[in-house]
Amino acid sequence: MSGIGLFYGSTTGKTEIIAEMIQQELGEEVVGLHNMADVEGSEFNDYENLIIACPTWNIGELQSDWDGFFPELDDIDFSGKKVAYFGTGDQVGYADNFMDALGILEEKISELGGKTVGYWSTDGYEFNESKAVRDGKFVGLALDEDNQSEMTEQRVKTWISQLKQEFGV
Ligand SMILES: Cc1cc2nc3c(=O)[nH]c(=O)nc-3n(C[C@H](O)[C@H](O)[C@H](O)COP(=O)(O)O)c2cc1C
């Protein structure tokens, strides 16, 4: 068991592009990339460090592949695993539900024993409500390709250097 498993869902491809960017930043030999459209629960057991990536869809809901997989999370043992989260969302069009999917997944996986790493400041974002905010911080990296795509590359680089320390890779 080594390396980092990055498990992502993506309907229109924005989260997928960033998942590939993150794999490049951390190293292809370090990160195993898994599209939730085609994942077995046992694949999570191959890693002690996980990155979970999900955009929010349909006003506060999980992306469809994550939504379909959600009941199967109960059968996975996340104890002893460090889990980082990132998502894409639209803080202007969906200001009352910005990044909700990230909060839904983080809450569930934490209940199942996962230890969250990679918290991210809400500075620089404008929204009303988000299930992804705990104690004043996002539970993971929030990216907005619809309104702030020019900030994505720098946000990813900063978050990755933070993650390297927290994962110890
Ligand atoms: C119908 C629809 C509903 C959406 N609902 C939300 C939402 O509730 N919260 C949010 O932050 N973003 C929402 N978004 C924005 C998407 O999350 C955003 O475009 C995301 O980057 C799409 O990721 P993907 O291309 O990887 O599927 C919505 C977009 C659409 C078209």
Q: Is the pLDDT of residue 167 over 90?
A: yes
Task: Tell me the pLDDT of the chain averaged across its residues.
Answer: 97
Banded pLDDT at 130 (limits 50, 70, 90):
very high
- Coil, strand or helix: which one is 101? helix
pLDDT score recorded for residue 1: 42
> Is the ipTM beyond the 0.90 threshold?
yes
Residue among 62, 90, 139 whose CB has most ligand 1 atoms within 8 A, to mutate: 90
- State the pLDDT at residue 164: 95
Closest residue by CA, ligand 1 atom 19? 89
Mean pLDDT of 140-163: 98
Ligand 1, atom 7, lies closest to the CA of 59
**Ligand 1 interacting residues, C-beta cut-off 6 A:** 10-16, 55-60, 63, 88-90, 94, 97-100, 145-146
Mutation choice for ligand 1 from 65, 94, 141, CB with most ligand atoms inside 8 A: 94
Span 10-20, mean pLDDT?
A: 98
- Answer whether residue 169 shows pLDDT above 90: no
Cβ-contact 163, 118 below 8 angstroms? yes
Taking the model in full, what pTM does it have?
0.98
Mean pLDDT of 17-36: 96
| Beta-bridge partners for 87 | 142
Cα–Cα distances in angstroms (integers) from residue 152 to residues 14, 31, 122, 168, in the given order: 11, 20, 14, 23
| Mean pLDDT (whole number) for 65-77 | 98
Mode of pairing for the β-strands spanning 133-134 and 137-138 = antiparallel
Kindly give the distance from the C-alpha atom of residue 62 to the centroid of ligand 1, in angstroms, as a whole number.
9
